[in-house]
Amino acid sequence: MNDNTRILVTPRSLTAEPHPDVERLRENGFDIVYSRAGQTPTEDELLELVPGCVGWLAGVEPVTPRVVEAAANLRVISRNGVGIDNLPVDMLAKRGVKIMIAEGANALGVAELTIGLMFSVLRAIPLADAGIKAGSWPRVRGMEIRDRTVGIIGCGAIGREVARMVVALGARVIAHDPLRPNLDLPSTHFAYREIDEIIAGAEILSLHCPLPKDGSALLDRQRLSTVRNGLVLVNTARARLVDEDALIEALDLGRIGCYATDVFEPEPPVDLRLAAHPRVIATSHIGGFTAESVDRATRIAARNLLSALQN
């Protein structure tokens, strides 16, 4: 295998089942190296795989400084998503490694899962399903989304899709985004507000933003103490946006009525205090894991790789 043409592929969705857009890179003279099928690679596995690679189609696996040090030939990391929290960005920049993202590829899939999680909470769908399968007949009085106040923090590609869907369902959206993009939504049902006002006023709060620059939790103990009692909190963005210990306390008290999440730290979760909590609805980081999202993200990520390596 020629080290000058070696590309590492690590996203779980692409190692479980090689994608035609990745395999097509072979036609351009590149050798494809896959990590363990369907598994998030460990640091030791990456240290074994990354030496000699010029390109890396990366997933959400943590990339440590040790891994970057071992990647002497690396020229580009192409993400099959938009998050780069798992990458030591400053170190990669100093080494001249380009970082590329698949802008907007997963937006619709994540937005639709967000809406699905909202309905799962409002109608207690997982509880009813589990109860019937256990031989009982649970009937929890649900809530409708129309006329509720939904807070959205972050109106990038995903957040704006969620805002449009929520408004179409008849709810009111209060949103925060530093850029305040024009979403062409009626002022009767959409308004920008400051973060603390949203946290205190929302009945449903959905997170679609990066971590604060200092890496701290956006929703810390102080902010969680200001929410409406019984808040529905939805997180399809990043686990570390919420202080886990403070969140568990708020769930125990019922201040947070339900936490519906697609993200954990680490993944899969080792400590099940949060994941197994009776007020938590959890999915296994499947927001962008649709046939359409995987196809879009893979196509863009492979194209980005090819562009960077051929130029």
> From the CA atom positions of the chain, what is the Rg in Å?
21
Alpha-carbon distances, residue 281 vs 104, 185, 233, 259, 275 (angstroms)? 26, 30, 10, 6, 8
Q: Is 208 a catalytic residue?
A: no
31 three-class SS? strand
Question: How far lies 154's CA from each of 36, 111, 161, in Å?
Answer: 34, 12, 11
262 within 8 A of 235, measured Cβ to Cβ: yes
Given a contact cutoff of 8 angstroms between Cβ atoms, the answer to whether 201 and 151 are in contact is yes
Residue-wise DSSP of 289-306? -SHHHHHHHHHHHHHHHH
Starting at the edge strand that comes first in sequence, how are the strands of the sheet with 55-58 ordered?
A: 31-34, 6-9, 55-58, 76-79, 98-100
* Structural contact between residues 168 and 197, judged by C-beta atoms closer than 8 angstroms: no
- Taking alpha carbons only, the member of 214, 251, 226 closest to residue 151 is 226
Among candidate residues 249, 267, 277, 303, the one labeled active-site is 267
Q: Which residue is catalytic, options 12, 160, 285, 299?
A: 285
The verdict on whether 228 is a catalytic residue reads no
> Per the residue annotation, which of 79, 172, 208, 238 is the catalytic one?
238
Active site residue 277: no
> What is d(CA 86, CA 290) in angstroms, rounded to the nearest whole number?
22
Q: List the catalytic residues.
A: 238, 267, 285
